[in-house]
Amino acid sequence: MENKRRLFTLITPPSVFLLFFFMVPLVIMALYAFKSSSFGPLFPLSLNAFNNFFSNPAYFVLLINSSQLALLTAVLSIVLAFPVSYYLVFYTGSRRVMLLTLLILPAWISYLLRVLAWKVILGSEGLLNQLLLATGLIQDGAPILLYSQAAVLITLVYVWIPFAALPIFAAMERIDPRLHEAAADLGASPSVTFWRVTAPLTMPGVASAFFFVFIPTLGEWVTPTLVGGVSGIMYGNLIQDQFGRALNWPLGALMSMVLLVLVGVFSYVFNRFIPITEVPVSS
């Protein structure tokens, strides 16, 4: 009884906050998708936004396109982060945390500023173009990368490498070194040890890296706006547009719902295989 009251006191404030500022807004967003116009009353419900959305294949194409880009971003970030985590964990001894901290320092710097840095690098007067001009690889000064999907990809991979490295590093660090010794004692070659011991044990880290890069990238709109230009826009830009220039809130709400459902299905399936958030009770 006593215990129940304590638990109630602890859990009520965060629950109420989550209810009012997280669950309720999501429900309201779902209702908004049925409104006939941005302003005005909710009733009568209308399927305008649905008709608009489902009769326009361009929206779907962009959603698929953005999913592919998010997938590519996640895979590339992991491919680049994996070897460095491996090196740090298995080759650098006690200095590894210091070296990792140094490597992922940029992750703590404002996202917008890191994107700005790439805008500067990829621009027509930017570092990359100057370098290519100086080496004679290109002749004119047109930016070869800025305002393209490639620019968005490069910038996003840059932004996400540190976040991919962290969980992979953590997973590798948890591997008991005695397992490697045991494998070697039993006659496994280094490559067999890697594929049969290290890789499987690192998988949860790789999976959570994938998860935490893929999802935010899917809703990305700032990076495409800054470095992607017209050809580099993503699904997130569509949503943002409905609340800016296009001013079509019901459609924007529906587009957000679609993204939410997509992310929800993905998270659910993903979580079945690899539980991301597990907290043990220690009492």
Partner 1 sequence: MRQTGKWVGLGYYLLLLLFLQLPILLLIVFSFNDSVLLVFPLKGFTLQWYRELLQATELINAAKNSLIIGLVSSVVATVLGSAAAIAIARYNFPGRAFFLNIATLPLVIPYVVLAVALLLMFQALNVELSLWTIMIGHTIINMPYVMLIVAARLSGFANNLEEAAMDLGATYWGTLMRVTLPISMPALVAAFLSSFTMSFDEFSLAFFLAGTQNTLPVYLYSQLRFPSRLPLAVTTAAVVIMVSVVILLFSEWLRRIGTGRVPKS
Burial class (CB in 10 A: 0-12, 13-18, 19+), 112: exposed
Closest separation between CB of residue 246 and partner 1, Å? 13
201 in contact with partner 1 (CB under 8 A): no
**How many residues sit in the footprint of partner 1 (CB under 8 A)?**
85
The binder of partner 1 chosen from 40, 55, 93, 125 (CB under 8 A):
125
Told to check if 50 binds partner 1 by CB under 8 A, we report no
Rounded to the nearest whole angstrom, what is the least distance from the CB of residue 165 to partner 1 in the complex? 9
By CB under 8 A, tell whether 170 contacts partner 1: no
Q: Is residue 156 involved in binding partner 1 (CB under 8 A)?
A: no
Residue number with CB closer to partner 1 (148 or 223): 223
For partner 1, the closer of residues 92 and 231 by Cβ is 92
- Angle in degrees, 0-180, between the axes of helices 249-273 and 57-91, rounded to the nearest 10: 40
Q: Do the Cβ atoms of 36 and 48 come closer than 8 Å?
A: yes
Is residue 195 at the binding interface for partner 1, with CB under 8 A as the rule?
no
DSSP 196: I
Name which of residues 204 to 223 contact partner 1 (CB under 8 A). 211, 215-216, 218-222
Nearer to partner 1, 83 or 200 (CB): 83
Of the candidates 136, 75, 80, 69, the residue with the CA atom closest to the CA atom of residue 103: 80
Helices (H), 92-143: 96-104, 111-122, 127-134
Stretch that binds partner 1, among 50-58, 71-79, 180-188, 245-253 (CB under 8 A): 245-253
Distance CA 21, CA 246 (A): 26
- Of 262, 273, 253, which Cα lies nearest the Cα of 50? 253
Residue 232 binding partner 1, by CB under 8 A? no
From residue 6 to residue 35, the character string flagging contacts with partner 1 as x (rule: CB under 8 A) and all else as - is xx--xx-xxx-xx--xxxxxx-xx--x---
Q: At what angle do helices 111-122 and 149-173 cross, to 10 degrees?
A: 130
137 binds partner 1 per the rule CB under 8 A: no
Longest dimension (CA), the chain: 79
Q: Is 273 in the site for partner 1 (CB under 8 A)?
A: no
